[in-house]
């Protein structure tokens, strides 16, 4: 190597395109374009159809709950950053996502102060107290909802209102409470008919029925999930296995042995489209922090959520068992990841 070449290399003046040079830096060397801010932005976009459906069907009730919950969550995040002297995390939109998700799980007549209290609890107790975003063990929105359900059970299970665009199958939505409650009444009385189920499923798909403000429109939630999947934010392993396992188990255990009748199949579809299954499967169970990262772990997690949701519905007074099912599986996440972690080649 001549002195000229050595000099060029040492001084960095060798005649090569700078873009072809290797730049040394600390790992990781493979980087994803999906920052936390970008992911949360896409989640907010994905929640727009469900939010629009909530505003369409429940109007002022939904508007108040969403505005109060999101504002309280953002304010709590801001105050926590000031008190703990941590860098502000408001720009990553995670507080807004938590506040919106929490609001969508509330009955339309929930008092505004309860929505505010729940949002504060979600951020302060179930996010900040665990160390912040990415370190929480439980889904903050669901954990806050579960706490409100424990302390304000009557309010959280009776605060229903008739959708503004009409009622499900011509039944007064105020008196019927939720589709699940009416289904149970008709099932016990022996008045459950195929025509009723067909009409009701249509309303459940659209969202024109009673229920929590963000859970009634299956199609709106499916559109949001499709957006996240297209943007490669989520995997469909968890929601698919959640919904599939719940559908199969519901079909097997709630049809009284008459598995292949039209009424049995429609009943399973009805129960799968109601009770917040779509919101839980597509958005709550798919939370990247509180769900497994391994492919097999995602499948096990989804099946567990579906099976436990049916168990809570069948054997407890909790008609919408998805909330507690997901929280229970959140607790099992570290164990699931431990036993589903792929083995390193050559390692015993």
Which residues does the chain have with pLDDT short of 50? Answer: 1-14, 16-22, 25-31, 167-176
Residues 121 and 238 in one domain: no
Question: CA separation (Å) from 256 to 2, 185, 260, 265, 274?
Answer: 89, 16, 11, 12, 20
Question: Quick one: 80 and 174 in the same domain?
Answer: no
Q: Quick one: which of 252, 253, 240, 246 has its CA closest to 271?
A: 246
Q: Domain end: 156, 190, 210, which one?
A: 156
Looking at the fold, whether 107 and 145 belong to one and the same domain comes out as yes
**Rounded to two decimals, what is the model's pTM?**
0.83
Structural domain for 274, as ranges:
164-338
- Please report the pLDDT score of residue 27 as a whole number: 47
User: For the segment 91-149, what is each residue's pLDDT rounded down to a tens digit?
Assistant: 789 999 999 999 999 999 999 999 999 999 999 999 999 988 888 999 999 999 999 99
The reported pLDDT for the residue numbered 160 is 66
Structural contact between residues 137 and 130, judged by C-beta atoms closer than 8 angstroms: yes
Whether residue 258 sits in one domain with residue 145: no
Are residues 273 and 175 both part of a single domain?
yes
Query: How many folded domains does the chain comprise?
Result: 2
Pick from 277, 248, 256: nearest CA to 192: 256
Instruction: Give all strands (DSSP E) within the chain, no chain letters.
Output: none
Boundary (domain end) residue, out of 129, 156, 183: 156
Do 180 and 296 belong together in one domain? Answer: yes
State the pLDDT at residue 158.
75
Q: How far is CA 173 from CA 58, 66, 94, 157, 207, in A?
A: 12, 21, 34, 14, 13
Same domain? For 189 and 147 the reply is no
């Amino acid at each position: 190597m001549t002195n000229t070449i050595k000099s060029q290399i040492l001084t960095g003046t060798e005649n090569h395109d700078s873009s072809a040079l290797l730049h040394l830096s600390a790992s990781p060397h493979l980087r994803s374009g999906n920052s936390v801010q970008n992911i949360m932005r896409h989640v907010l976009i994905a929640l727009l159809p469900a939010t629009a459906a909530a505003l369409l069907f429940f109007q002022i009730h939904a508007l108040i709950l969403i505005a109060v919950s999101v504002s309280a969550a953002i304010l709590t995040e801001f105050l926590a950053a000031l008190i703990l002297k941590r860098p502000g995390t408001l720009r990553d939109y995670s507080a807004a996502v938590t506040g919106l998700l929490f609001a969508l799980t509330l009955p339309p007549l929930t008092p505004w102060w309860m929505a505010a209290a729940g949002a504060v609890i979600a951020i302060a107790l179930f996010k900040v107290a665990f160390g912040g975003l990415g370190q929480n063990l439980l889904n903050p929105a669901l954990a806050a909802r579960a706490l409100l359900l424990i302390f304000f059970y009557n309010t959280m299970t009776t605060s229903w209102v008739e959708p503004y665009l009409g009622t499900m199958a011509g039944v007064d939505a105020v008196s019927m409470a939720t589709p699940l409650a009416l289904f149970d009444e008709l099932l016990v009385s022996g008045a459950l008919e195929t025509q009723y189920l067909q009409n009701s499923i249509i309303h459940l798909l659209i969202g024109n029925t009673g229920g929590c403000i963000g859970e009634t429109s299956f199609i709106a939630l499916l559109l949001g999930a499709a957006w996240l999947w297209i943007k490669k934010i989520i995997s469909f392993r968890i929601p698919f296995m959640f919904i599939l396992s719940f559908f199969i188990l519901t079909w097997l255990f709630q049809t009284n042995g008459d598995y292949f009748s039209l009424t049995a199949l429609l009943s399973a579809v009805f129960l799968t489209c109601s009770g917040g299954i779509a919101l839980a499967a597509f958005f709550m169970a798919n939370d990247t922090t509180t769900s497994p990262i391994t492919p097999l772990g995602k499948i096990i997690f989804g099946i567990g959520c579906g099976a436990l949701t049916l168990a809570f519905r069948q054997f407890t007074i909790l008609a919408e068992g998805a909330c507690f099912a997901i929280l229970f599986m959140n607790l099992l996440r570290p164990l699931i990841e431990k036993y589903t972690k792929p083995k390193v080649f050559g390692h015993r």
